[in-house]
Structure 1
Amino acid sequence: NIRHYLKKDKSTPRFYTIKNDLVFNVQFDEFVHGKWMPFNGTDVQLEFVRIDPFVRAT
């Protein structure tokens, strides 16, 4: 489950821009004994990659 929104008004714009303050929540689940259960752990690694939005002209 992933949720994200602007911090100031809790709206979810189509695009975020530089310097937008936002809230990003993730709920992790794991498949245990044939069913999905909330993840019970303390060692999660998460990586964000930003696609370069800048136009380069030569």
Structure 2
Amino acid sequence: MTCLQELRQSEGLTQFEMAKALKISYSHYSKLEDNFAKPSFKVLQGIKKSFSQTDMNRFF
């Protein structure tokens, strides 16, 4: 998912650190970033909570 990768890179985080911030596994996060899975509502809530400045419209 390009918007996840852009967000992660703008925050200067590794995939592992981003997964930890979102409270999901590294493998699940990498699937999200590579478009092999879609983020659940819980993951989207985690993004908003951890990165409140993020425009959530980018994910739809």
- Say whether the fold is shared (TM-score over 0.5): no
Larger radius of gyration: 1
TM-score, normalisation: structure 1:
0.30
TM-score for the superposition, normalised by structure 2? 0.29
Query: Could you say which structure has the greater relative contact order, defined with CA pairs below 8 angstroms and 6 or more residues apart?
Result: 2
Higher strand share: 1
